[in-house]
Structure 1
Amino acid sequence: MWKDFVKDLPDGFHLVAPDLPGYGRSVKKPSPDGSHRSHSKKAWSQDIIETVQHIPALRDSSTKIVAFGHDRGARLAYRMALEAPDVVVGLAVLDIVPTPFMWSRMSLSESRPDETKKSHHWVFLASPSPLPETLISAQAEFYYTYTMKSWTGSSALAIIDKANTIPEWQKDSIAPFLTNDQLAYERIAAACEDYRAGSTVDIEDDLSAGIDPATFERNKQDSGITEARLPVFSVPVLVLSSMHLRRRFPVDEIWGSLCVRDGLTCAQIGDEGTGHFFVNEATEQTLNVSVSWLAQFK
């Protein structure tokens, strides 16, 4: 999904764009003890930072990282900022609110379980092994095609329907899961392990760090002020989000409750017709905002 985006990033940065386990061709074995720790964002953070430190051009101890991620990658990115504050000097999160806020909203608020239905895959993929991976593997092409289509905006879908073919970035995203072999199954299982970690240990780690929806709601009710009193993130943070996510969550307020006020930049990307994959659907706007923000690190 990043091909068109990264080719227009400014010179002067070393770019490391790894496949995460379960996304692309990478795999990682589940935790033998069933804890899902191997797929926690803490463990992934360690993996990525160690990878960067093994790249010859980046072995210098003065190397700093701007962690930039979309969706599951954004959850990894913000955990990297928490785990390695001496290394991560900037954080960009695309189309997410923190994990505890997602789970907190899956309730009977306003007597409608709307958010639970919108986020049904969080529950399905976090279900005990081997249920979701077995079901998905049996109909992998249907599952991934349906899922990506459901998260794509109406403007991009209209172009796709007119062309009568799916774009290359979607083909590339889906292809690793369609090989109908053991590796494809392990990739699917890795994605499930990611969500299992996201329903257990990732929540524990976030709450321990001060990322707590209950505190956010309490401050909002008590004083109407959600601005961070003791910021969780002290580095510059870029928050890009779709109109659709912003309708579901007070995105800017949530991140504002966790960040230093002067260090937070928030922007909506696209419009009603732009979906979750705005890196691909609204590449130019995403680039313009990102490049402007990245200039502070050059």
Structure 2
Amino acid sequence: MTTDFLPGFDRHRIETAPGVTIHARSGGSGPPVLLLHGHPQTLSTWHHVAPRLAESRTIVAMDLRGYGDSDKPPGGERHAAYAKRAMAADAVAVMRALGHDRFALVGHDRGGRVAHRLALDHSERVERLALFDIAPTATMYARTDKAFATRYFWWFFFIQPHPLPERLIGADPEYFLRHHIEGQSKTPGSTPPDLFAEYLRCYSDPACRHAICEDYRAAAGIDLEHDAADSDARITAPLLALWGAQGTVGQTYDVLETWREKATDVSGRALDCGHTLQEERPEEVFSELSAFLG
């Protein structure tokens, strides 16, 4: 029996595109906030933060397409089904279906990249934007060096042609997942056994592993083209950037400066942790979001 990490939150299955149904949870009341997870997590990563935020806000957490209990459609030509533009459209459709035309947006890791694209493509819908432990995708690829490529090797492994990464990960998904999470997190115990089991439940699905690779393949191709096409565009919503001081992004980039190249109103700081802020430093994350969201 799996653990319910968001007890009391309603469950939703929302069709966002032909053949694509997204799994979401919602709870609380007040101004709406959408939470988007990263790789290799699911919406359960918000189990510390979402209930606290729901005391004064309407919180929606969704599994990105390809992840968790959302559908895992074929990537199609040029992996376009996993372009951040398509994933951002899912998020807009979920919020619209739940009655929210304008909302605050919080994204960690891959969810942050979806949130970045959403804030550009649907700027009228985003009141405020918080991004956790990322620099812009195009910036990270453009400034790749040996240190980054070594520490974030999966950015270059996952994008190899199908089925190479899928078959290699499939040989021992639990080992790969555990190695990945333990390497990213710098706070022992922040992903407890029942939460790891939830992530493994999803990662054990070959369709999920393939979708994850498609997500990264899109990021290295069609997403970069979309970014180049609107390289002069700026996010106009207030942007809060938080990152882990012990993580690769924080140690490799001037995070605030990278986002000031992409947005007009940027603030933020490092937290004393690794990559998964909402699991490693949930009290600080809650405090920062409460102040930022108002």
Interval containing the TM-score (normalised by the shorter chain): 0.7 to 0.9
Does the 8 Å contact 2:75/2:211 carry over to 1?
no
Q: Could you tell me which residue of structure 1 aligns to residue 85 of structure 2?
A: 42
Gap regions ≥5 residues in structure 2: 1-44
Question: For 1:111-150, what aligned pairs fall within 5 Å after superposition?
Answer: 113-150=146-183
Q: Which amino acid aligns with 1:52?
A: M
Moved more, 43-52 or 3-12: 3-12
Give the fraction of aligned pairs with identical amino acids, expressed as a percent. 28
Q: Could you tell me which residue of structure 1 aligns to residue 133 of structure 2?
A: 95
Q: Choose the corresponding residue for 1:268, options 267, 270, 273.
A: 270
Distance in 1 (alpha carbons) for counterparts of 2:181 and 2:66: 15
Deviations, residues 130-181 of structure 1 (Å, cap 9, x unaligned): 111121112111111111111010xx22x57xxxx94433332222123xxx
For the aligned residues, what is the CA RMSD?
Answer: 1.8
Does the 8 Å contact 2:256/2:266 carry over to 1?
no
Q: Which amino acid aligns with 1:22?
A: G
Q: TM-score normalised to the size of structure 1?
A: 0.79
Q: Could you tell me which residue of structure 2 aligns to residue 78 of structure 1?
A: 116
Larger RCO (CA within 8 A; separation ≥ 6): 1
Does the 8 Å contact 2:129/2:238 carry over to 1?
yes
Deviations, residues 234-282 of structure 1 (Å, cap 9, x unaligned): 111010011132221011111112221xx22211112xxx211121111
Does the 8 Å contact 1:27/1:190 carry over to 2?
no
Distance in 2 (alpha carbons) for counterparts of 1:278 and 1:252: 17
Distance in 1 (alpha carbons) for counterparts of 2:251 and 2:67: 27
Gap regions ≥5 residues in structure 1: 108-112, 179-183, 212-230
What SS is found at the alignment partner of 1:232?
coil
Structure richer in strand, relative to its length: 2
Q: TM-score normalised to the size of structure 2?
A: 0.80
Q: Which amino acid aligns with 1:28?
A: K
Does the 8 Å contact 2:53/2:59 carry over to 1?
no
Q: Which structure's CA Rg is the greater one?
A: 1
Q: Could you tell me which residue of structure 2 aligns to residue 31 of structure 1?
A: 75
Distance in 2 (alpha carbons) for counterparts of 1:247 and 1:185: 33
Structure richer in helix, relative to its length: 1
Moved over 6 A (4+): none
Question: For 1:239-258, what aligned pairs fall within 5 Å after superposition?
Answer: 239-243=241-245, 244=247, 245-258=249-262
Kindly state the Cα deviation for residue 198 of structure 1 after the two structures are TM-superposed: 0.5
